[in-house]
């Protein structure tokens, strides 16, 4: 009898179905076939561009890996996270959209949910670390004198450990990964908040430690940087050329970091809002056709960063070439 009971418990664990999907097939698409095909093509384009762009960033960085500054090491880590999302996660959802249902069962669903949350959390915590680095570098100049490359690698170890911990917590029985309401993708089971107090604690913990706290640190850091830059621009103009060039490089890295964080938050905040609304509202309070839009927007976040790198690099190169021309003309006039 005890053996039969344990088998029953194992079976129920494997066949877990969120309470809002208990009366229907959890993996059947709730969208029209045409909408699934459009979403599949959209994710295919996003996946290809993201893979090529982040792969290029990692390749170019590997050619000068010994010369990378700590802030640049962080941006490479961000490209690794974005590439991971594109290579590990997107093929699952693309195939499922084209097949008009989730094709990989509960094991694939939990793997996809874990991978998406792991790399997404890693991206946000990396950007948090970059924003703190920029804040200390710009607002507390003495910080830059002791920061070395090995400090950046220690920070990377902490980032990966943090992401691993929070992505794995649902497997400890505290939470779970489940299909999205539209059926062809998987995510954290936000809807556990409607089932129990423990589910509410789980969802609120995830929101605080993996979204609200990092976002607050990012916003604080860049607000302080903006205020500092406004007050110190005139002071830098009186320094020699070497200090001015160093300041220009630091500001370039800061602009890259700010744009990356802005792009990430713009892509993910709508998804977070819809998830929270679904978690603490009525099960059908968010229309299924509406819930898919923030999900697709969030999946596009990995594509933005390589574009931002290239735009800033091109602009910076133009500035440097302009500066070189000015110096040459001064030499000729002399």
This prediction has a pTM of: 0.82
Instruction: Give the pLDDT confidence score for residue 223 in this predicted structure.
Output: 85
Helices marked H in the chain — which ranges? Answer: 2-14, 33-62, 70-84, 90-99, 105-139, 143-146, 149-168, 197-207, 213-236, 241-280, 288-299, 301-333
User: For the residues 309-318, what does the mean pLDDT come to?
Assistant: 54
Residue 43 burial (CB count, 10 A):
25
Note whether 203 and 190 are within 8 A (CB): yes
Distance of CA 25 to the CA centre of its chain: 30
Q: Is residue 121 part of a domain?
A: yes
The percentage of the chain sitting over the pLDDT mark of 90, rounded to a whole number, equals 33
Q: Is residue 95 part of a domain?
A: yes
Instruction: Give the pLDDT confidence score for residue 332 in this predicted structure.
Output: 37
User: For the residues 268-289, what does the mean pLDDT come to?
Assistant: 80
The range of the structural domain enclosing residue 307 comes to 33-313
- Mean pLDDT is lowest, of 3-12, 78-87, 138-147, 184-193, for 3-12
Q: Rounded CA gap, 239 and 233, in Å?
A: 11
Domain count, the chain: 1
Residue 205 burial (CB count, 10 A):
14
Q: Rounded CA gap, 102 and 93, in Å?
A: 8
More confident residue, 55 or 194: 55
User: For the residues 110-121, what does the mean pLDDT come to?
Assistant: 94
> For residue 218, what is the domain's CATH number?
1.20.1070.10
**Residue 238, φ and ψ in degrees, nearest 5:** -90, -5
For residue 153, give every residue at least 6 positions away whose Cβ sits within 8 Å of its Cβ, in sequence order, or none: 73
Q: Given pLDDT bands bounded at 50, 70 and 90, which one contains residue 146?
A: low
Q: Given pLDDT bands bounded at 50, 70 and 90, which one contains residue 312?
A: low
Instruction: Give the pLDDT confidence score for residue 154 in this predicted structure.
Output: 93
Q: Is residue 4 part of a domain?
A: no
- The dihedral region occupied by 105, where left means phi > 0, alpha psi between -120 and 50, and beta the remainder, is left
Q: Is residue 272 part of a domain?
A: yes
Helix (H, G, I), strand (E, B) or coil at 23: coil
Q: What is the pLDDT of residues 197-237, one digit of tens each?
A: 888 899 999 999 999 999 999 989 888 888 877 666 555 55
Q: Is residue 22 part of a domain?
A: no
Q: Is residue 331 part of a domain?
A: no
Note whether 216 and 303 are within 8 A (CB): no
Q: Is residue 322 part of a domain?
A: no
Q: Please check the confidence at residue 62 and state whether its pLDDT lies above 90.
A: no
* Bridge partner residues of 178 (DSSP): 187
Q: Is residue 219 part of a domain?
A: yes
**Residues, the chain:** 334
User: For the residues 185-204, what does the mean pLDDT come to?
Assistant: 87
């Amino acid at each position: 009898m005890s053996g039969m009971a344990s088998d029953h418990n194992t079976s129920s664990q494997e066949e877990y179905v969120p309470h809002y999907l208990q009366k229907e097939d959890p993996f059947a698409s709730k969208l029209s076939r045409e909408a699934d095909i459009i979403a599949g093509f959209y994710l295919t384009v996003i996946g290809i561009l993201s893979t090529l762009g982040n792969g290029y960033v990692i390749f170019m960085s590997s050619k000068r890996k010994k010369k990378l500054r700590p802030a640049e090491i962080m941006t490479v880590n961000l490209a690794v996270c974005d590439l991971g999302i594109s290579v590990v996660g997107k093929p699952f959802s693309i195939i499922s959209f084209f097949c008009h249902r989730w094709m990989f069962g509960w094991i694939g669903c939990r793997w996809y949910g874990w991978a998406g949350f792991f790399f997404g959390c890693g991206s946000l915590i990396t950007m948090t670390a970059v924003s703190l680095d920029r804040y200390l570098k710009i607002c507390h100049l003495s910080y830059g004198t002791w920061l070395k490359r090995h400090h950046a690698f220690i920070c990377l170890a902490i980032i990966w450990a943090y992401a691993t911990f929070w992505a794995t917590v649902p497997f400890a029985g505290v939470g779970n990964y489940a299909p999205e309401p539209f059926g062809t993708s998987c995510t954290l089971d936000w809807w556990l908040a409607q089932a129990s107090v423990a589910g509410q604690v789980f969802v609120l913990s995830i929101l605080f430690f993996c979204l609200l706290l990092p976002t607050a640190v990012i916003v604080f850091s860049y607000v302080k940087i903006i205020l500092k830059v406004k007050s110190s621009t005139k002071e830098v103009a009186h320094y020699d050329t070497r200090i001015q060039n160093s300041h220009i490089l630091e500001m370039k890295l800061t602009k890259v970091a700010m744009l990356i964080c802005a792009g990430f938050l713009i892509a993910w905040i709508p998804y977070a809002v819809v998830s929270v609304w679904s978690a603490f509202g009525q099960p059908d309070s968010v229309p299924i056709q509406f819930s898919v839009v923030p999900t697709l927007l969030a999946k596009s976040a990995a594509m933005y960063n390589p574009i931002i790198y290239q735009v800033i690099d091109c602009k910076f190169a133009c500035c440097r070439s302009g500066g070189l021309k000015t110096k040459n003309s001064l030499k000729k006039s002399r």
